[in-house]
Amino acid sequence: MSTETHDDDGLLSRREAIRRVSAMLGGVAFIGGTSLLTACEQAPPPAQRASTTPGQFTADDIAYLDEIAETILPATKTPGAKAAKTGAFMALMVTDSYHPDEQRIFRDGMKQLDDASRKANNASFMAATPQQRLTLLTQLDREQKTVADAQEAADRRRRGLAPVMAPRDSGAHQPADGEKFLPDQRQEKAPGNDAGSGAVAVTADSTATTTAHPHYFRMMKELALLGYFTSEIGYTKAMRYIETPGRFDPCAPYTPGETAWAPHA
């Protein structure tokens, strides 16, 4: 039996969309908590959003966020995050849903990321090559994962829970230079990896969770994924989409490499 929830217009609810995207990130709580849901509900339409600058974000800031998101979700056979105006979405969500401390971390993180690019590549992030950008974000993705794992372990200890055991090393080949560590995140939306099942905590108010601060790149990656996969481009280009579905077929044939069906009413 389906447990999907929908808005009055029949579209998948923002709450359900956040839950599904959260599963791509391991089913953990989204930064911003219930405020993120409220911001999604009150977000202006795309046409209006494109003509406004949210909060203290400038047009240059939004272009910068577009390039960060595009590195995570690059254009391939389908348009990437920049075409979906993901940078404007990220700025809007930070402005409308993050607490002041989280906003500060995010804004400071934008500067830290650019400083890291200048140190590693002698060039700003905007002036760096696509490969230089990918290498840098790969390193930051490892860093944010380490921080998140340490915070989760500390939280489990405080609650008296057993630590989560890491999977054994399978001996599989690891790509050199972390080339595959930050893959095109659309691959995580593969058929069979339905974000509608198995997701645990999706949203949590910051006051109800650990006081440890989130890593800024975790924020960026979350918002890039959420913005892209809830955009028209993400739904209709990166995934297969039918406005009005036909019969229910629980055993549809699947050929490896096919794109997933966009979850919808």
C-beta atoms surrounding 80 within 10 Å: 23
Residues of the chain with pLDDT under 70: 1-55, 166-211, 244-249, 263-265
In angstroms, the Cα distances linking 236 to 72, 79, 251 are 19, 10, 22
Burial class (CB in 10 A: 0-12, 13-18, 19+), 125: buried
Which residues pair with residue 174 across a beta bridge?
Answer: none
Provide the pLDDT for residue 254. 78
**CB burial of residue 200 (10 Å; 0-12, 13-18, 19+):** exposed
- Reported as a single tens digit per residue, the pLDDT across 189-222 is 444 444 333 333 334 444 344 457 889 999 999 9
Note the pLDDT tens digit of each residue in 26-54: 555 556 555 555 555 555 555 554 455 66
Quick one: which of 219, 24, 223, 200 has its CA closest to 102? 219
| pTM of the complete model beyond 0.75 | no
**Quick one: which of 131, 102, 132, 101 has its CA closest to 116?**
132
Task: Identify the pLDDT of residue 205.
Answer: 45
With beta carbons less than 8 A apart as the criterion, state whether 49 and 232 touch: no
Backbone angles phi, psi at 31, to 5 degrees: -70, 135
